[in-house]
């Protein structure tokens, strides 16, 4: 009965090698979020989708892209991962804005 | 954009004592304020939230207060237990975004 699923849970990539992280939800929520959380830091919002509308945070690097092909799925693409992109990536959903978020278990990205 | 500050960054209390964590925000458009508990290696877990039309909310040992005029809100945990030890984050939400405070590492000493 998992509600927000992230795959893979652990991802290892090489410096500069593109990587895609995936998130799916069974809640039929219309808002989906991607956060980056580095060790001992707070989750940092990268972008969110409200339905199909993509909203990028002003300080999200161009290296990060996202796709939402349908309500259930959302992908995070890192085009050329650097060592500084090693982090936990959290996906979250909410029914509408300013309502409870449901987090996935996260994908821990290691960049070699 | 929204800026959320959180204090203290670390807090140690004796079991049974109370713990208070404070946050301030900058964007007057924020009107939803959740608090999360995050254990090591796990996802953030919502423990309580409050909306801007409410000044206080309580759920058993946990309470949150909001002063919208001053743009600050606080988490109060009473009768702390060792299992309350974790990192706690406040957040503020204007529109559809969520902005997190820097976190408070709470240690409850048995």
Mean pLDDT of chain A: 94
pLDDT at A2 over 80: no
pLDDT at A99 over 90: no
Tens digits of residue pLDDT in A30-48: 999 999 999 999 999 999 9
| Per-residue confidence (pLDDT) for residue A98, from 0 to 100 | 66
Q: In angstroms, what separates the C-alpha of B35 from chain A's closest C-alpha?
A: 10
The torsion angles phi and psi of A83, rounded to 5 degrees, stand at: -60, -30
Tens digits of residue pLDDT in A56-89: 998 999 999 999 999 999 999 999 999 999 999 9
| Per-residue confidence (pLDDT) for residue B54, from 0 to 100 | 86
Partners of B102 on chain A (C-beta within 8 Å) are 41-42
Tens digits of residue pLDDT in A10-34: 999 999 999 999 999 999 999 999 9
Mean pLDDT per 10-residue section of chain B, whose length is 110 residues: 94 98 96 96 95 93 96 98 98 91 97
Whether the CB of B54 is below 8 Å from some CB of chain A: the reply is: no
């Amino acid at each position: 009965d998992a509600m927000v699923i992230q795959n893979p849970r652990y991802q290892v990539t090489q410096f500069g090698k593109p990587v895609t992280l995936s998130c799916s939800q069974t809640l039929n929520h219309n808002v989906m979020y991607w956060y980056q959380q580095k060790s001992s830091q707070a989750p940092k919002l990268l972008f969110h989708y409200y339905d199909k509308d993509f909203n990028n945070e002003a300080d999200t690097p161009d290296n990060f892209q996202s796709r939402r092909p349908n309500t259930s799925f959302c992908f995070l693409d890192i085009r050329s991962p650097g060592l500084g992109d090693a982090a936990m990536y959290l996906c979250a959903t909410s029914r509408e804005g300013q309502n409870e978020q449901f987090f996935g278990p996260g994908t821990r990205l290691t960049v070699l | 954009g929204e800026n959320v500050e959180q204090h203290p960054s670390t807090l140690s209390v004796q079991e049974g004592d109370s713990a208070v964590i404070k946050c301030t925000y900058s964007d007057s458009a924020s009107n939803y304020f959740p608090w999360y508990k995050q254990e090591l290696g796990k996802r953030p877990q919502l423990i309580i939230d409050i909306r801007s039309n409410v000044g206080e909310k309580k759920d058993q040992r946990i309470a949150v207060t909001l002063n919208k005029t001053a743009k600050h809100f606080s988490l109060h945990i009473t009768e702390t237990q060792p299992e309350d030890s974790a990192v706690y984050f406040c957040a503020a939400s204007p529109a559809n975004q969520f902005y997190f405070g820097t976190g408070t590492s709470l240690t409850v000493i048995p």
